[in-house]
């Protein structure tokens, strides 16, 4: 240890002693850890002393403990940590208006900064499923291609996909060293393809297969003319049959009302039964006969169209995509109508 560092350490211990005893005695465990750490530091056992200073600081944060921890780390390879702790101690001392310890912390941080090793991780390419790590810390993309201070020692820079390490570069960081490590993520991804797999939460790659069922092309299809005619005949035929039946139903209802007002007679068969009615019901009988005749012809015509449509459906070649017509009834003003919907 140089004379300047030795004298500074002595000054630090003296400053720590100025901290009121009650401030360090509020937590008995913290006080015991602090005392044990000081004994180890006095013997030069810095590696054993630092964890105790750190534990005391966690139990009871104090500026004096923080400064002793920074001094302890400065005697180990953890120079970067020591530098950060000295800077933090400076900020806390400034807030507490403790000029003496603020000046000491700043002087120690400034003296330590030139000794810090610095590492630049150059990353080329962009792969969303790949990440770059420095030891056990994942680097943010903002940290790529930037020289950053780091602790002394051997450092492992890795490229990972989930929990799998795909590429590794080790670098020995010494005091005042400036090192650069480079990775091409596109090249790493090419050397380690996922084979169409999907990355799971634990980093494993699972093979996936895509199955397309009943795929329908977006290209317009031409419908055969016979198919169009068959659908038209079917719609018109069913509608005619329904309306023909409706006409005959109305005719039956009107005929049922004649009762004793009409007298059945024999004669030429203009209709299934001929009636002679009084003047009050003669009009109803005439309307009923007309509706019955119209209903018969309409129903017969509808039946012919339905049969024609069925024949066309059988004869005309089917399309790849089967038509799915839907039949239903919908209200219209003054009645109801049959509706057809689907792909024709």
3-state secondary structure of 281: coil
pLDDT of 327 higher than 70:
no
Average pLDDT value over all residues in the chain: 75
339: which residues sit within 8 A by CB, 6+ positions away? 327, 328, 329, 330
pLDDT > 50? residue 208:
no
Supply the Cα-derived Rg of the chain in whole angstroms: 49
Q: What is the pLDDT of residue 27?
A: 87
What backbone torsions phi and psi does residue 205 show, to the nearest 5 degrees?
A: -105, 125
Report the alpha-carbon angle 58-62-67, nearest 5: 95
Domain 118-201 architecture? Sandwich (2.60)
Query: So what's the pLDDT on residue 5?
Result: 45
Q: What confidence tier does 308 reach under pLDDT thresholds 50, 70, 90?
A: confident
Four-point Cα dihedral 278, 284, 289, 292, nearest 10: -150
For residue 49, what are its two tokens? 């002393």
Q: Calculate mean pLDDT across residues 143-149.
A: 95
Mean pLDDT comparison of 36-45, 218-227, 233-242, 256-265, highest-scoring range: 36-45
pTM exceeding the 0.75 threshold for the entire prediction: no
253-285 per-position pLDDT tens digit: 666 655 444 545 444 444 444 544 545 455 666
Domain ranges of the chain: 3-114, 118-201, 225-341
* Alpha carbon 144 to chain centroid, angstroms: 26
Min mean pLDDT across 155-164, 203-212, 228-237, 281-290 is at 203-212
CATH number of this structure's domain 3-114: 1.25.40
Whether the CB-CB separation of 95 and 57 falls below 8 Å is answered with no
pLDDT exceeds 70 at position 232: yes
Q: What pLDDT sits at residue 12?
A: 47
pLDDT at position 168? 96
CA 97 to chain centre: 50
Which range has the worst mean pLDDT, 164-173, 256-265, 281-290? 256-265
Largest CA distance in the chain: 146
* pLDDT value for 130: 95
Across 184-193, average pLDDT: 93
- φ, ψ dihedrals at 208, nearest 5°: -125, 150
Q: Give the helix/strand (H/E) hosting 133.
A: strand 131-134
Distance CA 277, CA 243 (A): 28
């Amino acid at each position: 240890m140089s004379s300047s560092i030795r004298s500074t350490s002595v000054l630090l211990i003296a400053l720590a002693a100025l901290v009121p005893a009650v401030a360090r005695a509020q937590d008995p465990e913290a006080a015991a850890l602090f005392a044990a750490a000081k004994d180890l530091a006095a013997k030069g056992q810095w590696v054993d002393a630092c964890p105790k200073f750190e534990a005391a600081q966690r139990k009871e944060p104090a500026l004096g403990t923080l400064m002793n921890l920074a001094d302890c780390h400065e005697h180990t390879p953890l120079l970067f940590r020591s530098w950060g702790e000295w800077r933090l101690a400076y900020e806390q001392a400034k807030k507490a208006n403790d000029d003496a310890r603020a000046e000491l912390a700043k002087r120690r941080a400034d003296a330590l900064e030139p000794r810090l090793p610095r590492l630049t991780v150059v990353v080329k390419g962009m792969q969303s499923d790949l990440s770059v790590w420095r030891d056990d810390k994942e680097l943010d993309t903002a940290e790529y291609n930037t020289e950053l201070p780091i602790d002394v020692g051997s450092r492992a820079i890795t490229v990972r996909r989930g929990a799998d390490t795909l590429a590794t570069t080790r670098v020995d960081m010494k005091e005042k060293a400036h090192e650069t490590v480079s990775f091409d993520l596109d090249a790493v991804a090419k050397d380690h393809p996922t084979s169409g797999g999907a990355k799971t939460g634990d980093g494993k790659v699972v093979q996936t297969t895509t199955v397309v069922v009943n795929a329908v092309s977006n290209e317009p299809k031409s419908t055969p003319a016979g198919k169009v005619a068959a659908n038209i005949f079917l719609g018109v035929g069913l509608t005619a049959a329904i309306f023909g039946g409706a006409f005959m139903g109305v005719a039956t209802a009107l005929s049922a009302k004649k009762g004793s007002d009409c007298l059945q007679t024999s004669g030429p068969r203009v209709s299934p039964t001929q009636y002679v009615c009084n003047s009050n019901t003669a009009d109803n009988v005439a309307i009923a006969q007309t509706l019955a005749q119209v209903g018969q012809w309409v129903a017969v015509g509808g039946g012919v169209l339905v049969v024609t449509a069925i024949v066309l459906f059988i004869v005309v070649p089917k399309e790849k995509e089967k038509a799915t017509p839907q039949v239903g009834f919908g209200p219209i003003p003054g009645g109801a109508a049959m509706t057809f919907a689907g792909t024709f």
